[in-house]
Amino acid sequence: MSDGTEAWTRHEPPFWLRPRTILIALAVLLVVGPLLLSRMKGSYPPDPDCAKVTVAKAGDAPVPAGSEVFWTITGPDARYGVTIGAEQVTVAGGTLGIAMAERGAEVGAVVAYQPTPTTGCRTIGRTQLHLPRGTYTLKVWRLDGDTATQVAATTVESAG
């Protein structure tokens, strides 16, 4: 039987639970964490670049049907239109249309962005993808009057 007079023994917490260890770990995370995250930022959307027309899309993973494709055009200020799955286009009254679709995109080829004057050397957009499984081309067309010239392209993979 215990009469309550036993000596109380203080046990030290494990090393990783000591206040000093926790404070050092938090300090390291606060310094190293932002450095690691800043390096992982990635390159989307790209910075404005007025020298050359380029197109970039967010991510490399296949896009499920009905999901959005995010894209960015950089280049000198002009009138640009964007298509996905179009092989050839037409221009009538400043409006871009699809004359011929890529193979496999006959049903879902789309004008993702009607020609609009850009300013600031960058345009960011998004478009819902409704194409069967496959790889398609996202093309950028520069419009001059009723003439469309393809100036940049990238691939988009549809997961169907």
pLDDT in tens, 50-94: 999 999 888 888 999 889 999 999 999 899 999 999 999 999 988
- Structure tokens belonging to residue 78: 């002009």
Region 12-38: what's the mean pLDDT? 76
Report the distance separating Cα 53 and Cα 139, nearest Å: 11
- Structure tokens belonging to residue 35: 């450095």
Residue 57, number of CB atoms within 10 A of its CB: 19
Q: What is the pLDDT of residue 31?
A: 77
Lowest mean pLDDT among 2-6, 97-101, 102-106, 147-151: 2-6
For residue 32, pLDDT over 90 is answered with no
Tell me if the pTM is above 0.75.
no
More confident residue, 37 or 111: 111
> Which ranges of 3-63 would DSSP assign to H, the alpha helix?
19-39
Residue 140, number of CB atoms within 10 A of its CB: 24
Q: What percent of the chain has pLDDT over 90?
A: 34
More confident residue, 36 or 68: 68
Helices and strands counted in the chain (H then E): 1, 9
For residue 38, pLDDT over 60 is answered with no
In terms of C-beta distances under 8 Å and separation of at least 24 residues, what long-range contacts does 154-158 make, across chains too? 154/55, 154/56, 154/57, 154/71, 156/57, 156/63, 156/69, 156/84, 156/129, 157/61, 157/62, 157/63, 158/62, 158/63, 158/65, 158/129, 158/131, 158/132, 158/133, 158/134
